[in-house]
Chains A and B, each alone.
Chain A
């Protein structure tokens, strides 16, 4: 199929340039000032931007095992609706994605029914129990892009060292969800002012920082590639800064919510403000924004974590951690950071495209002749009402429900196929 996109502002090498774009089957065939060929479809994108498809290194598609929350079909629909053309599926499924058969199941489902590419992250330890190393080399031959016990964290430093050494043997990046269980305790929100005020148990920043410090040291010793998931505190960032200054292959990501929300949001007891790591202090949030601007943080990842209403409609203490993220990531950050002049559009787009691609060495992330036809067309001047009725995800757990957000995704094209089109 040939698609021509006319009159668009195309994001090429950090700049928006007025171009026409020809997509021929899976590739971008031409980027020229004016293209007037015959095509199967012509999209007039006047006033809109064409960005490389967003790439999310951190998502929970809940398939197999918890498909009442989300499945590969609904999860990738939600991703495409948010402008994402590729997402990394975390392995905390039921059963845990810790073996080649489970990896292939996800790949197959995504290939046949998905609206976005799905890259599989395999478990770091068997069943993510933190006891024995998973068959990660076999899973790598099946196409996993990283290993992680995300949602859990290997507490045993000796085993973690062993995992890192084994992963480095096969050049598999290790994604760590940094959380010291004893320090986190029964914590529900950030161990700061709002925890004191609400009486909700706190999760101190130390619970994250202690593990980051440990894993940087272990990864250095093992010679492993370490990617730190959802970094959230100022002190964590200082640890990453020191590691990078040493030249260690350490990378990190931040979620949209840690860039725009703080612990103050929890004062309402809305369980859609409950996630791990918790929303931190204003000082931590600002440190994350600054680190994103300066490039210390490598990319933005959603940590899309769907939960059903009946699970979130519980007492705060008993509600599960996590929020959905695909459909609000770009809009919220564009509205709260770009439009307010805090970060540039370039920083935002790069952090969702080329930079995550580089972090895990994934294809795509840029628009170039001959490149993958993974793009998203967004009108930055329109708005989207983010309401329960028009969320594509099966779950509706978001702190931005019923809010009007800046920008609107009009099309998402994955490998030359239109996988999402605004109605």
Chain B
């Protein structure tokens, strides 16, 4: 048990130091080993109750959190609602009061509104892991991304990481910028100007490129992001075809990156839009492994926050 992590919230990675992030990675390494066993369960969180509170749909992330809790022997309850249901009926505040009365020890929340994890913590007084809040943050995704690089390449120090796609709407990018740069990586973000938030350089100290070849030049790690069709109706880009012509990760465009550069994607992928299958399924790709690492990272966080016994 490390008292440093006990009862902490994971709203985003800015609350965690470089050393703490490295500690979490080490813990996750141990958890990953458990996931490879035939009997994938340890009794460390017996008697604790974890609630997954998902106000925005995400089957994959919810499963990952629930699996993580299950493998640590915590009891898991799941609350799912749509934003519209919460709008019409019980407020988030009342929902949390209700859940809390049932004795929840840790909340894992996904919500379309930035800042909602902070609200859940305020109303419950219990630690909260942010499973994605709007465009704001997705710290567990960033940690599993970082873990995937760290595991393969040993360290992030001095690595050039290029993230390509809809930067404007990506919480994954925001958390990764904070986390990866804390560990010494140099991050370049790339996408069309209409999908790039303002002030990226001054807020995050990252590099911004609008041209894919320049962005990929010399990259050690390349991450694609999901391009969503609805951005078209918002007047932000004209067509998936045109987007793909300029920003797809293909064998051709990846020639600019370092040979054997690590290929990542937080999923779900639009094959043929932001990434070609030849790349997604290549030996350089860690996309499937990212998913496995997600369970390990979430186990590590729950273990540390709830003070599991090693």
CB distance from A36 to the nearest CB of B (A): 58
Q: How far is the CA of A315 from the CA of B111 in the complex (A)?
A: 9
Q: How far is the CA of A74 from the CA of B269 in the complex (A)?
A: 56
User: B169-182, CB under 8 A of A: which get 1 and which 0?
Assistant: 00100100000000
Of B91, B118, B199, the contact of A196 (CB 8 Å cutoff)? B199
Check A195 for interface membership: any CB of B closer than 8 A.
yes
User: B109-127, CB under 8 A of A: which get 1 and which 0?
Assistant: 0011111101100000000
Q: Tell whether, in the assembled complex, residue B136 and residue A198 are in contact, meaning their CB atoms are under 8 Å apart.
A: yes
Q: Tell whether, in the assembled complex, residue B174 and residue A193 are in contact, meaning their CB atoms are under 8 Å apart.
A: no
Q: Tell whether, in the assembled complex, residue B199 and residue A200 are in contact, meaning their CB atoms are under 8 Å apart.
A: no
Q: Tell whether, in the assembled complex, residue B113 and residue A317 are in contact, meaning their CB atoms are under 8 Å apart.
A: yes
Q: Tell whether, in the assembled complex, residue B198 and residue A316 are in contact, meaning their CB atoms are under 8 Å apart.
A: no
Q: Tell whether, in the assembled complex, residue A198 and residue B114 are in contact, meaning their CB atoms are under 8 Å apart.
A: yes
Q: How far is the CA of A314 from the CA of B203 in the complex (A)?
A: 27
Check A341 for interface membership: any CB of B closer than 8 A.
no
Check A313 for interface membership: any CB of B closer than 8 A.
yes
Of A192, A269, A313, the contact of B114 (CB 8 Å cutoff)? A269
Shortest Cβ distance from A204 into B: residue: B198
Q: Tell whether, in the assembled complex, residue A315 and residue B171 are in contact, meaning their CB atoms are under 8 Å apart.
A: no
Check A191 for interface membership: any CB of B closer than 8 A.
yes
Contacts of A315 in B (CB 8 A): 92, 111, 113, 115-116, 119
Which of the four size classes fits the interface of chain B?
Answer: 20 to 34
Q: Tell whether, in the assembled complex, residue B91 and residue A200 are in contact, meaning their CB atoms are under 8 Å apart.
A: no
CB distance from B232 to the nearest CB of A (A): 16
Check B28 for interface membership: any CB of A closer than 8 A.
no
Tally of chain A residues near chain B (CB < 8 A): 20
Contacts of A200 in B (CB 8 A): 114-115, 134-136
Q: Tell whether, in the assembled complex, residue A192 and residue B199 are in contact, meaning their CB atoms are under 8 Å apart.
A: yes
- Contact residues, A297-311 vs B (CB, 8 A): 310
Q: Tell whether, in the assembled complex, residue A314 and residue B91 are in contact, meaning their CB atoms are under 8 Å apart.
A: yes
Q: Tell whether, in the assembled complex, residue B115 and residue A269 are in contact, meaning their CB atoms are under 8 Å apart.
A: yes
- Contact residues, A168-204 vs B (CB, 8 A): 191-193, 195-202
Check B57 for interface membership: any CB of A closer than 8 A.
no
Q: How far is the CA of A310 from the CA of B93 in the complex (A)?
A: 9
Shortest Cβ distance from A309 into B: residue: B93
- Contact residues, B79-100 vs A (CB, 8 A): 87, 91-93
Classify the secondary structure of B's interface with A. Answer: mixed
Q: Tell whether, in the assembled complex, residue B174 and residue A199 are in contact, meaning their CB atoms are under 8 Å apart.
A: yes
Q: Contacts A199-B134, A199-B135, A199-B137 given: A317-B114 contact, CB under 8 Å? A: yes
Contacts of B91 in A (CB 8 A): 310, 313-314
Contacts of A111 in B (CB 8 A): none
Q: Tell whether, in the assembled complex, residue B198 and residue A191 are in contact, meaning their CB atoms are under 8 Å apart.
A: yes
Contacts of A199 in B (CB 8 A): 114, 133-137, 171, 174
Q: How far is the CA of A317 from the CA of B200 in the complex (A)?
A: 22
Q: Contacts A193-B199, A199-B174, A269-B118 given: A317-B112 contact, CB under 8 Å? A: yes
Q: How far is the CA of A269 from the CA of B136 in the complex (A)?
A: 11
- Contact residues, B111-155 vs A (CB, 8 A): 111-116, 118-119, 133-137
Contacts of B283 in A (CB 8 A): none
Check B268 for interface membership: any CB of A closer than 8 A.
no
Check A25 for interface membership: any CB of B closer than 8 A.
no
Check B197 for interface membership: any CB of A closer than 8 A.
yes
Contacts of A403 in B (CB 8 A): none
Contacts of B135 in A (CB 8 A): 199-201
Q: Tell whether, in the assembled complex, residue B200 and residue A196 are in contact, meaning their CB atoms are under 8 Å apart.
A: yes
Q: How far is the CA of A199 from the CA of B202 in the complex (A)?
A: 15
Contacts of A269 in B (CB 8 A): 114-115, 118-119
CB distance from B7 to the nearest CB of A (A): 20
Shortest Cβ distance from A200 into B: residue: B114
Contacts of B93 in A (CB 8 A): 310, 313-314
Q: How far is the CA of A197 from the CA of B199 in the complex (A)?
A: 9
Shortest Cβ distance from A188 into B: residue: B114
Q: Tell whether, in the assembled complex, residue A193 and residue B202 are in contact, meaning their CB atoms are under 8 Å apart.
A: yes
CB distance from A233 to the nearest CB of B (A): 15
Q: How far is the CA of A313 from the CA of B118 in the complex (A)?
A: 12
Shortest Cβ distance from A196 into B: residue: B197
Q: Tell whether, in the assembled complex, residue B115 and residue A318 are in contact, meaning their CB atoms are under 8 Å apart.
A: no
Q: How far is the CA of A196 from the CA of B119 in the complex (A)?
A: 20
Q: How far is the CA of A195 from the CA of B111 in the complex (A)?
A: 17
User: A230-270, CB under 8 A of B: which get 1 and which 0?
Assistant: 00000000000000000000000000000000000000110
Residues of A within 8 A of B (CB): 191-193, 195-202, 268-269, 310, 313-318
User: When A and B form their complex, which 4 residue pairs have the shortest distance between CB atoms, in order from nearest?
Assistant: A269-B115, A199-B135, A315-B113, A199-B136
12 CB-based A-B contacts, threshold 8 Å: A193-B198, A193-B199, A195-B198, A197-B174, A199-B134, A199-B136, A200-B134, A201-B135, A202-B198, A316-B114, A317-B113, A318-B87
Q: A198-B136, A199-B171 are in contact. List 12 more A-B contacts (CB 8 A).
A: A192-B198, A196-B198, A196-B199, A198-B115, A199-B136, A199-B174, A200-B134, A202-B198, A269-B114, A315-B92, A315-B113, A315-B119
